[in-house]
Amino acid sequence: MTGSVVLSQARQAVAAAGRVVVKVGSSSLTTAEGGLDRSRLDALVDAVAARRAAGGQVVLVSSGAIAAGLAPLGITRRPRDLATQQAAASVGQLALAHAYANSFGRYDLTVGQVLLTAEDVVRRAHYRNAQRTFSRLLALGAVPVVNENDTVATAEIKFGDNDRLAALVAHLVGADALLLLSDVDSLYDGDPRLPGAQRVPEVTGPSDVDGVRAGSVGASGLGTGGMASKLAAARLAASAGIPVLLAGAADATRALSAADVGTAFTATGTRLSARRFWLGHASAATGRLFLDAGAVAAVVTRRRSLLAAGVTAVEGAFEAGDVVELVDPDGAVVARGVVAFDATELPALIGHSSGELPPEQRREVVHADDLVPLTA
Ligand SMILES: Nc1ncnc2c1ncn2[C@@H]1O[C@H](COP(=O)(O)OP(=O)(O)O)[C@@H](O)[C@H]1O
Ligand SMILES: N[C@@H](CCC(=O)OP(=O)(O)O)C(=O)O
């Protein structure tokens, strides 16, 4: 269970982080009437600038483009169709970038806008390119302000929500911590709009959120994914070795100073190499391999390669070198890896031990070096 030593470690990691990713949601930047709330944006920038003045590096992942574009276009409610959302984002992103440039300008800080689509992290070459851009922006002293490139992202290539984007960016830039800021001051064990919900101050492992009900629709109607997407993103980052603090945007300064605000997620996993993180969490899988119980134990617990003998079925139209999901007998995805055979070749091999296979096919189906168990 939660101990005070663990509590201080997770919060202090955020406070002491040399490089921190700060994500802020739409509901924390916009007014009820629509349009940007300059005073709340300035307050956030004050907190980030203070961290910069103390020698820290900050990458800001900011939502709000769609919300900020509604009022200028005379739209009164968040649109449901992609085309109108993209039109709103096109107008709103410009306003957002302008507002950040002005606000950081009060501190003589320069901002660099980085708009990403899922393609930019799914394709390995793009991932490395994005890494280089962030690294150079930070080295030059700029504050990268990141959002999804909503105007060109189609339904198929959308991250879906900026919480997940922030977790991916945190790993991509090698951040020491991730701060997720929202209109709610912490994670609660149930929807805080309902009576009796209790704050969850610490999450040290998956069992701490067993009973938590995190809704997928926020109170403001402006954001995407609600608390459910924040929880998933926090667990994703924590499982990849990055401590996370989820807090209210109004508490940004205190959240960056180890105060007892929000919900702190202890890093549960070891930090993966960029390649293994990409493989486990950012790549697009093109097929699925179904494993028997023995193969699951070998791959997940003993970290061995996957052999044809432990595969019971194959799904998808993949080629050797593609990323596939490995599925246990209960249907849960337990790992991802780079498959060494085409989908057309595998059905004849599965269930057979290596000795039964022709020499040219006696190789691992997924090599241990190309395989990432998903344990979070
Ligand atoms: N278990 C929970 N704990 C905290 N907030 C929750 C929970 N379940 C649902 N919510 C709602 O999630 C909202 C935050 O999600 P959202 O509006 O998408 O935020 P953002 O715009 O900051 O990304 C909160 O306002 C809260 O009403
Ligand atoms: N890219 C979108 C934000 C999507 C999103 O996840 O929003 P939020 O839940 O407010 O973080 C925008 O800028 O409007």
Nearest CA to ligand 2 atom 11: 25
Mutate to test the pocket of ligand 2, among 113, 162, 180, 216 (most ligand atoms within 8 A of CB): 162
30 lines ligand 1 (CB under 6 A): no
The rounded Cα 83 to chain-centroid distance in angstroms is 24
Domains of the chain (ranges plus CATH)? 4-276 (3.40.1160.10), 285-373 (2.30.130.10)
Task: For residues 237 and 244, give the distance between their C-alpha atoms in angstroms, rounded to a whole number.
Answer: 7
Nearest CA to ligand 2 atom 3: 63
* CA dihedral for 331, 334, 335, 336, sign (positive or negative): positive
The arithmetic mean of pLDDT across residues 191-195, rounded, is 88
Going from the C-alpha of 343 to that of each of 141, 287, 312, the distances in angstroms are 47, 8, 13
Nearest CA to ligand 1 atom 13: 218
34 lines ligand 1 (CB under 6 A): no
85 lines ligand 1 (CB under 6 A): no
Q: Of 343, 311, 328, give the one whose Cα is nearest residue 375.
A: 328
Least confident of 73-82, 148-157, 189-198, 205-214: 148-157
Contact 336, 372 (CB under 8 A): yes
What are the DSSP calls for 142-170, one per residue? Answer: -EEEEEE-TTT--GGG--S-HHHHHHHHH
pLDDT in tens, 124-180: 778 889 999 999 999 999 999 999 999 887 765 667 689 999 999 999 999 999 999
Task: For residues 182 and 175, give the distance between their C-alpha atoms in angstroms, rounded to a whole number.
Answer: 20
Residue 116 CA to ligand 1 centre (angstroms):
24
The residues, ordered by sequence, that sit 6+ positions from 251 with a Cβ below 8 Å of its Cβ are: 185, 259, 261, 262
pLDDT in tens, 2-35: 444 455 577 999 999 999 999 999 999 988 777 8
pLDDT in tens, 218-237: 656 665 678 889 999 999 99
pLDDT(44) > 80: yes
63 lines ligand 2 (CB under 6 A): yes
Task: For residues 170 and 180, give the distance between their C-alpha atoms in angstroms, rounded to a whole number.
Answer: 11
- 3-state secondary structure string, 333-364? EEEEEECCCCCCCHHHCCCCCHHHCCHHHCCC
pLDDT value at residue 266: 93
Task: For residues 22 and 38, give the distance between their C-alpha atoms in angstroms, rounded to a whole number.
Answer: 18
pTM equals 0.85
pLDDT in tens, 299-356: 999 999 999 999 999 999 999 988 999 999 999 999 999 999 999 999 999 999 888 9
Average pLDDT score, the chain: 90
Question: Residue 140 has which token pair?
Answer: 């030059």
223 lines ligand 1 (CB under 6 A): yes
Element (H, E) at 202: strand 202-203
Residue 66 CA to ligand 2 centre (angstroms):
7
Task: For residues 242 and 231, give the distance between their C-alpha atoms in angstroms, rounded to a whole number.
Answer: 14
Give the atom of ligand 2 at the shortest distance from the alpha carbon of 85: 14
161 lines ligand 2 (CB under 6 A): yes
pLDDT value at residue 301: 94
